[in-house]
Chain A
Amino acid sequence: KAGVTQTPRYLIKTRGQQVTLSCSPISGHRSVSWYQQTPGQGLQFLFEYFSETQRNKGNFPGRFSGRQFSNSRSEMNVSTLELGDSALYLCASSPDGHSYEQYFGPGTRLTVT
């Protein structure tokens, strides 16, 4: 099976712009989670989607949003970008709603200038 794919892999944006990142989970996986990794804060949970519904949300401002489509693909959006949003954004998928093990994609490296 193909792994979790994320596009784009690298992105450079300017403060104030918005950005959309995409994630395709492993085939058959219905849960998609997003994490932000920064040098100072480590890996922090953003949100999780299961069957097109947001099930969990981390402690991030409303500028961070996401959605999941009927084919389980997911997108996350960050509006009004700030310098501090520069990070590696990781997507992870799980087979169902009760699986603890998550399988991560390679991430999207976002740089905000």
Chain B
Amino acid sequence: DQQVKQNSPSLSVQEGRISILNCDYTNSMFDYFLWYKKYPAEGPTFLISISSIKDKNEDGRFTVFLNKSAKHLSLHIVPSQPGDSAVYFCAASGRNNAGNMLTFGGGTRLMVKP
């Protein structure tokens, strides 16, 4: 049972346009959400996070939106750049975790075309 799902395995966007990556979750105990970016042969790199008490968090070109009633979050990248091409993972953590355990989605491969 996948508690965190990224339904789009890949996304292709033109340079300068907006990239929107989506993520759905089922566990209502999740209260903190994160996005990671992963290049080949490297570990995931933390991008941005959001607590369940907020519905939006912004950091430069990256904005994460959280819709708790729909159990949905999205990552917006504006403007998209070729260097943003990577696999993006959303992850979640919850109050029922005794420590630092993240549940990851399956990832979305973003390709930004010049």
Contacts of B42 in A (CB 8 A): 106-107
Q: Does B89 contact A (CB under 8 A)?
A: yes
Q: Taking the complex as formed, is A61 at the interface, i.e. its CB lies under 8 A from any CB of chain B?
A: no
- Report if A97 contacts B (CB, 8 A): yes
**Chain A at the B interface: mostly helix, strand, loop or mixed?**
strand
* Contact digits for A70-83, partner B, Cβ 8 Å, 1 yes 0 no: 00000000000000
Q: Which of B32, B91, B100, B102 has a CB less than 8 Å from the CB of A97? A: B100
Residue from B43, B89, B100, B106 within 8 A of A105 (CB atoms): B43
How many Å from the CB of A103 to the closest CB on chain B? 7
Distance of A82 Cα from B107 Cα, bound (Å): 25
Q: Do the beta carbons of B106 and A42 come within 8 Å of each other?
A: yes
* Min CB gap B67→A, angstroms: 19
Residue in A56, A90, A99, A105 whose beta carbon sits within 8 Å of that of B98 in the complex:
A56
Whether B46 contacts A102 by the Cβ 8 Å rule is: yes
